[in-house]
């Protein structure tokens, strides 16, 4: 259970970082 939660949080963080990178690329 705890591992799954950590993996979900990890994936969310990656998606967030990717989104910021994409927005930075736009500018």
pLDDT band at 27 (very low <50, low <70, confident <90, very high): low
Report the 10 Å Cβ neighbour count for 3: 7
pTM of the entire structure? Answer: 0.53
Tell me how far CA of residue 24 lies from CA of 1, 12, 13, 21, in angstroms.
Answer: 35, 18, 17, 5
Q: Give the tens place of pLDDT for each residue, 7-23.
A: 999 999 999 999 999 88
Rounded to the nearest 5 degrees, what angle is found at the Cα of 22, between the Cα atoms of 4 and 15?
A: 5
What pLDDT was estimated at residue 16?
95
């Amino acid at each position: 259970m705890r591992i799954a939660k950590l993996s979900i949080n990890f994936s969310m963080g990656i998606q967030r970082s990717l989104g910021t990178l994409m927005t930075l690329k736009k500018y």
